[in-house]
């Protein structure tokens, strides 16, 4: 099935963590882009473009951006692949409203959806992307299994995530994150509590090696990753295997 809505899916209510994350992101929508620029010293948009380029969406192909937020990755993909079909989903309706108001956004199909239960048929997309999704879900493996399901054979998933710093810079960078993110949240958004949560999820998430291990369990291959920004961010790409006898 290609880009077909699933009508047989069971939609479970969000977990308590899911409800907390949903409330947080609805709350910080107005400041989200500004805070991402500040927290990454202006590098966030470039990383999103890197994610979009890494999908290698074929001409006339399709891409799904999960947890699209304000649509930065989806819009970057549209700019890179203007003749592709871009779907973007999020379970924060305020984020979707903000994303859909941006220049060029009318060419993207925005939809409210839960990453645990994507409303698309099997093998619907040539690529799947997401930024800062996995650190906010209860079951990373389930979410990646859903993405594997909706990918066509040979399709790619590209992930932008935070990761705990390691090596010589571990302690100074950790201290900086613990102080800077809540402080910026207070100064810019007047919301220290929400950004204290984001600080904890940033430092408490998995290493690249742990994410790679889950991707392999799910069935992905050709996995590669690189770190960004003093080791606090990572971009991981992986591919769904092509069945024997098929061509990509």
User: Comparing 33-37, 108-112, 201-205, 206-210, which segment has the lowest mean pLDDT?
Assistant: 201-205
User: Comparing 72-76, 194-198, 211-215, which segment has the lowest mean pLDDT?
Assistant: 194-198
CB neighbour burial string for 173-199, b if at least 16 within 10 angstroms, e if fewer:
beeebeeebbebbeeebebbebbebbb
- Beta strand pairing status for 220-228 and 151-162? unpaired
CATH topology of domain 16-240: Rossmann fold (3.40.50)
What mean pLDDT is predicted for residues 10-29?
A: 76
Cβ contact 160:203 at 8 Å: no
d(CA 140, CA 138): 6
Query: Is residue 90 annotated as involved in ligand binding?
Result: yes
Cβ contact 122:58 at 8 Å: no
- Return the pLDDT at 9: 40
Short-list 62, 60, 207, CA closest to 128: 62
Residue boundaries of the structural domains of the chain: 16-240
Cβ contact 64:128 at 8 Å: yes
Query: Is residue 65 annotated as involved in ligand binding?
Result: no
* Residue 230 half-sphere exposure toward CB, CA atoms < 13 A: 15
pLDDT confidence tier of residue 12, bands split at 50, 70 and 90: low
pTM: 0.89
d(CA 179, CA 32): 18
Three-class DSSP category at 170: helix
Q: Which two tokens stand for residue 75?
A: 């819009």
d(CA 136, CA 17): 8
- Return the pLDDT at 190: 79
- Return the pLDDT at 10: 39
pLDDT confidence tier of residue 71, bands split at 50, 70 and 90: very high
């Amino acid at each position: 099935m290609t880009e077909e809505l699933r009508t047989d899916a069971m939609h479970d209510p969000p977990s308590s963590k899911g409800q907390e994350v949903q409330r947080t992101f609805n709350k910080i929508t107005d400041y989200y882009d500004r805070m991402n620029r500040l927290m990454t010293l202006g590098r966030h948009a470039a990383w999103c473009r890197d994610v979009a380029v890494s999908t290698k969406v074929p001409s006339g192909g399709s891409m799904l951006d999960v947890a699209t937020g304000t649509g930065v990755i989806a819009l970057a993909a549209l700019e890179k692949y203007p003749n592709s079909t871009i779907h973007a989903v999020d379970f924060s309706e305020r984020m979707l409203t903000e994303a859909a108001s941006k220049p060029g956004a009318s060419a993207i199909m925005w939809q409210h959806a839960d990453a645990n239960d994507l409303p698309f048929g099997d093998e619907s997309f040539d690529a799947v992307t997401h930024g800062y999704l996995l650190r906010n879900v209860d079951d990373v493996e389930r979410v990646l299994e859903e993405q594997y399901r909706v990918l066509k054979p040979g399709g790619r998933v590209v992930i932008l995530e935070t990761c705990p710093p390691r090596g010589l810079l571990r302690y100074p960078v950790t201290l900086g994150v613990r102080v800077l993110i809540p402080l910026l949240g207070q100064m810019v958004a007047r919301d220290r509590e929400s950004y204290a949560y984001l600080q904890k999820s940033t430092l408490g998430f998995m290493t690249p090696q742990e994410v790679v291990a889950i991707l392999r369990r799910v069935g992905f291959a050709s996995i590669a990753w690189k770190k960004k920004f003093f080791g606090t961010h990572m971009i991981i790409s992986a591919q769904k295997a092509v069945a024997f006898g098929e061509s990509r």
